[in-house]
Amino acid sequence: MAGFDPPHQSDTRTIYIANRFPQHGHYVPQKFADNRIISSKYTVWNFVPKNLFEQFRRVANFYFLIIFLVQLMIDTPTSPITSGLPLFFVITVTAIKQGYEDWLRHKADNEVNGAPVYVVRSGGLVKTRSKNIRVGDIVRVAKDETFPVDLVLLSSDRVDGSCHVTTASLDGETNLKTHVAVPETAVLQSVANLDKLVAVIECQQPEADLYRFVGRITISQQTEEVVRPLGPESLLLRGARLKNTKEIFGVAVYTGMETKMALNYKSKSQKRSAVEKSMNSFLIIYLIILLFEAILSTILKYAWQAEEKWDEPWYNEKTEHERNSSKVEYVFTDKTGTLTENEMQFRECSINGIKYQEVNGKLTPEGFSEDSPDGNRHSLMKEEELFLKAVCLCHTVQINTDQTDGADGPWHANGIAAPLEYYASSPDEKALVEAASRVGVVFTGTSGDSMEVKSLGKPERYKLLHVLEFDPNRRRMSVIVESPSGEKLLFTKGAESSILPRSKSGEIDKTRIHVDEFALKGLRTLCVAYRRFTPEEYQEIGKRLHEARTALQQREERLADVFNFIERDLELLGATGVEDKLQEKVQETIEALRLAGIKVWVLTGDKHETAVSVSLSCGHFHRTMNILELVQHKSDSTCAEQLRQLAKRIKEDHVIQHGLVVDGTSLSLALREHEKLFMEVCKNCSAVLCCRMAPLQKAKVVRLLKTSPEKPITLAIGDGANDVSMIQEAHVGIGIMGKEGRQAVRNSDYAIARFKFLSKLLFVHGHFYYIRIATLVQYFFYKNVCFITPQFLYQFFCLFSQQTLYDSVYLTLYNICFTSLPVLIYSLFEQHVHPHVLQSKPVLYRPFLHTQDMYFVFVQLLSSGSAWFAIILIVVACLFLDVVKKVLYRHLQPTSTEKAQLTEAGSGINCLDSMCCFSDGETACTSVRRMLERLMGRCSPTRVNRCGISLNSLCCRRFSYKLEPDEPAAIDV
């Protein structure tokens, strides 16, 4: 079950800000969910029945329960404690463990629901608990606090009503995102003004899509009403954190289990491993065999007791004698914080055809050391300074407002300001701006429409004229600024495929070579260029931009045309190489998984370009791999056509390896009506990368593979709250203890510190687990067959009287010695291959992937007709020989007791038979026929009476079988 899906009768909801409902009498307020978050599974009232129900869904527990109940209801030779006590112990320990885990979830829920928050009520700020927030309340959130509900932003401490948030716990992105309020509410920055606000919000009902929100706000201003649209840029999601903004005010629109964060979480479910499922099927077969033996023994017993006087209690007298981790086929992994350290680092750059590296805060040309004359410089060349200024001006970086006042503070010896705290929506931009500040060109912030830069301590102010936003089609962004000298400049940066073809001058060929070298090192590359405008050119550009931005029809197409017109005839400045620092041994681990036959899928919320770059650097995608893309599709028809083209390309180029890149929007379309085709394409690709994924979409992808006809075993690994749904959906869920909290760890099956430990978990522990459990399960069935079969055969010698073959003490010792000790010792010490060998040779994992007959001996036994025939033949032969032996002995060498019984019985008896007596003139065949008649309920009591054998003589004869022929007398009972 995916998340909480509340029922709604209407497609929209109407929210009155500050809960100022209409005064007319016929208005009925809508009912909304409260703001309590519930992640627990049990309550005090349903824990016992719900937990018992889940535990007895396991066939093993249910089997022993049935055995225990049968022993309670009927008179059995073994005590009910034999089955009941171990069952009670297992059920109790499991219930305590699951109860404790759920208590921890209750405790975490209470901490979240009881967190203090401030809401605007009665003209002031009122402190309350998070669970008490209602839809319509105006909530105040301070810097570095998480949003307790889904809020529509009303105002912030900034004049323009903007704020910055990070959504690491929702989509894994640690970069800042900018949200803005509508102009009419942005000016309401005090509690008193907000308390006077009269407005109504109409928006869609709750849905799980993190990136979609449609609504509008109607603001009453004196005699008129102003209607403004609301979109995702106005919605602050629960779980996100406020950054770089002192405080904001927002109105609660979705609360509790209706928030987008809650809708993207899966409820905690109980997983069944492949080993347990296999054991369940074998236990069912074993149960059927036991039932067959019990039914056969019962039929024979009642057939033997068909005559009433034989039904005596003499025959009741006692005599004095890991699971899934071993078969994983698909690994689904998050990117940020799982494969990477979540840190960007500037490594190299190319300026005017020369490669540079950063050495101790200085740009040093390649091949020069810090001690060389050219390497030890305290100034920047003209080209270097222009390149760094372009990096510091062409971005969307924000600076921490708490530090701007200290920007004129202490300077280092080389004239560089102390490090500032930057925030950016792109991690590359942040790394580049920080690198530029270290080498002497510092971006010190924005003031109105100006951007301030310090070049080696000298402040410069650039007026920001236009921003040409980044989009995936252009794959670049640009800014148009006015320099201190009044010159109009265009600075642009983007992918080399979008910058180099538009450059007409600069070291283009050398830069292209350097970019390829950076890419081979796994660095994320960007090219930087600029253009100077004459006054006439700038006037033409300004006119075209204004017309495109104010157009009502085809605005996006017009803007794209204008951007292409502006971003041409560029002069190339250089390129940058930034490393998204990978965790230790990530490349080796992914390569080992590939050698083991495991396919790796990367599911991330990052942008397309970022995700592809990291996949290349970590070895998920190879440079020689043919990368296929299924991105930016808006309709079913285009998505289906692209899927068919991809399938055709894969068939045509089946020799080379393929990698697939798909984004969240295209994935939703592909899964809607083209699931089979999409799965065909994915399974023919060596690696798959899914970007811009919401948490619930990650779980859907895992479920898609998990429920495919092949039923592969899946493993999901992640480090953040946005990975919880994926971790819970997979057969094996692994949490990494990273920088994004412990929610992934708390909801996982296993917790590890680094991605590199995944190889040891699978190749060593998974291998050992598989071998041990496979052997021990076969041993379990073998032990039970050896225990039950003699008891079953013994019934033929005690007239199916339920008489036990084993003493209770022997039975207890048998279970201890042959069940507990071998399992304990074998599971602790069995290592048929050294762990180092298993980890260094991943190919040893391959034999386990596609073998379903884990319990080879047992499966072969069940599926082999010759084996069953041999068993039946052995049983029949043993019984037949024993019967023949006893009949011959009675005929040829009768004991004295048998002779006395013959004399007492009279002359009507010709022989003795353990099944039935027959009189003169009857052959042995007639006796067999009469025995079969008795089994079918047709045996005549008169015929039996003719035998003339008393009950006492029968008892004596029964026990006389145990005496040797040469003994003088039998025991008289």
CA distance 507 to 529: 11
CA distance 294 to 365: 87
Cα 595–chain centre separation: 23
Residue 529 and residue 502 in contact, taking contact as beta carbons nearer than 8 Å: yes
Of the candidates 657, 593, 589, 663, the one whose C-alpha atom is nearest the C-alpha of residue 623 is: 657
DSSP 108-130: HHHHHHT-EEEEEETTEEEEEEG
Beta strands 150-156; 138-142: pairing state: unpaired
CA distance 205 to 135: 13
Give the largest CA-CA distance in the chain: 140
Supply the Cα-derived Rg of the chain in whole angstroms.
Answer: 40
CA distance 464 to 29: 48
Of the candidates 13, 14, 17, the one whose C-alpha atom is nearest the C-alpha of residue 220 is: 17
DSSP 5-72: ----SSSEEEEEGGG----STT--PPP---S-----S--TTTHHHHHHHHHTTSHHHHHHHHHHHHHH
CA distance 545 to 563: 8
CB-based burial of residue 151 (10 Å sphere; 0-12 exposed, 13-18 middle, 19+ buried)?
Answer: buried
Residue 321 neighbours by CB distance under 10 Å: 8
Q: Which two tokens stand for residue 376?
A: 């030890």
Angle at Cα 845 formed by Cα 698 and Cα 337, nearest 5°?
Answer: 35
Q: C-alpha distances in angstroms, 779 versus 63, 278, 723, 753?
A: 18, 15, 39, 36
CA distance 146 to 396: 23
CA distance 489 to 571: 11
Residue found by looking up tokens 């490594």 in the block: 347
Q: C-alpha distances in angstroms, 205 versus 11, 49, 137?
A: 6, 35, 17
Q: Which residues are catalytic?
A: 334
Of the candidates 365, 277, 297, the one whose C-alpha atom is nearest the C-alpha of residue 805 is: 297
- Strand residue runs (E) in 137-246: 138-142, 150-156, 162-167, 173-180, 199-204, 215-221, 224-230, 235-236, 241-243
3-state SS track over 876-892: HHHHHHHHHHHHHHHHH
Phi then psi for 136, rounded to 5 degrees? Answer: 105, -15
Q: What kind and span of H or E run contains 570?
A: strand 570-582
Look at phi and psi of residue 549 and say left if phi exceeds 0, alpha if psi is from -120 to 50, else beta.
alpha
